[in-house]
């Protein structure tokens, strides 16, 4: 999943990005002013935006309002020092999906981020199952027919994205957009390499593969053969 942090406190933004990346689920972009943040928010298909309110150049509420006016439904978590009840009401009324005040607990923040992403993909249960495959998006434990599967960070991120969209064809372009940040060197052949590695780890003797290639369109993960 790809997250945009719009936060002018650079150290805080880096700490949040580090915590998100350590979960293995997220690629993260950072913007430290509202003007650039708004541009990035409109230019990329993010799964979540973490938004401060008091930003240079363009305020957080203005960014949020412009997103909603354009029909952009990306989940937005406001993270701000403004803790007055009226500020919280204004943020929620402007279209944010969640509101946290600084200082905050990082564990709670990460849990809220994960819940917002699941809601986007209509997956309220943190455990997503595809046939005999189970992916716990909270603990990031993957099991297949009751046996735990060990995955590298990018393999897990790719699998999580596929299972959240189980039954849907996911193109290489979508994978690149949602699993890599601006600083990553991402090419379409890298996706093929990760898909191949993931297939090998999930191939434990079952007569039916889980990940299928749809020629010219992308990949789909489902219980029965495509």
- What CA–CA distance (Å, rounded) separates 187 from 175? 10
pLDDT value for 226: 45
Range list of H helices, 71-206 = 85-93, 106-120, 153-164, 172-179, 188-202
> Are 108 and 149 in a shared domain?
no
> Are 201 and 139 in a shared domain?
yes
Residue ending a domain, among 71, 90, 120, is 120
pLDDT tens digits, residue range 135-194?
999 999 999 989 999 999 999 999 999 999 999 999 999 999 999 887 766 565 888 999
The residues that bridge with 211 in the sheet, in sequence order, are: 221
Q: Confidence band (pLDDT; 50, 70, 90) for 93?
A: very high
Range of weakest confidence among 16-20, 202-206, 208-212: 202-206
Average pLDDT, the chain: 92
How crowded is residue 15: how many other Cβ atoms within 10 Å of its Cβ?
13
- What CA–CA distance (Å, rounded) separates 153 from 21? 9
> Are 44 and 108 in a shared domain?
yes
pLDDT at 23 over 60: yes
Q: What is the domain range of residue 58?
A: 2-120
Q: Residue 42: which CATH number? A: 3.40.50.2300
The whole model's pTM is what? Answer: 0.91
Residue ending a domain, among 75, 99, 120, is 120
Range of weakest confidence among 28-32, 34-38, 221-225: 221-225
Residue ending a domain, among 70, 85, 120, is 120
pLDDT value for 181: 82
């Amino acid at each position: 999943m790809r997250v945009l942090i719009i936060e002018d406190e650079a150290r805080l933004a880096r700490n949040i990005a580090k915590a998100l990346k350590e979960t293995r689920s997220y690629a993260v972009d950072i913007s430290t002013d509202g003007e650039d943040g708004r541009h990035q928010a409109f230019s990329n298909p993010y799964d979540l935006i973490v938004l401060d309110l008091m930003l240079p150049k363009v305020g957080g509420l203005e960014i949020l309002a412009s997103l909603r006016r354009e029909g952009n439904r990306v989940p937005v978590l406001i993270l701000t020092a403004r803790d007055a009840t009226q500020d919280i009401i204004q943020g929620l009324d402007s279209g944010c999906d969640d509101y946290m005040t600084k200082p905050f607990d990082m564990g709670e923040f990460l849990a809220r981020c994960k819940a917002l992403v699941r809601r986007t993909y209509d997956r309220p249960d943190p455990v997503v199952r595809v046939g005999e495959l189970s992916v716990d998006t909270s603990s990031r434990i993957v099991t297949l027919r009751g046996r735990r599967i060990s995955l590298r960070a990018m393999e897990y991120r790719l699998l999580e994205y596929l299972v959240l969209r189980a039954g849907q064809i996911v193109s290489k372009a979508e994978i690149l957009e949602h699993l890599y940040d601006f600083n990553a060197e991402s090419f379409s052949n890298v996706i093929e390499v990760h898909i191949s590695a993931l297939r090998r780890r999930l191939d434990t003797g079952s007569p039916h593969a889980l990940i299928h290639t749809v020629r010219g369109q992308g990949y789909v993960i489902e219980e029965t053969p495509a």
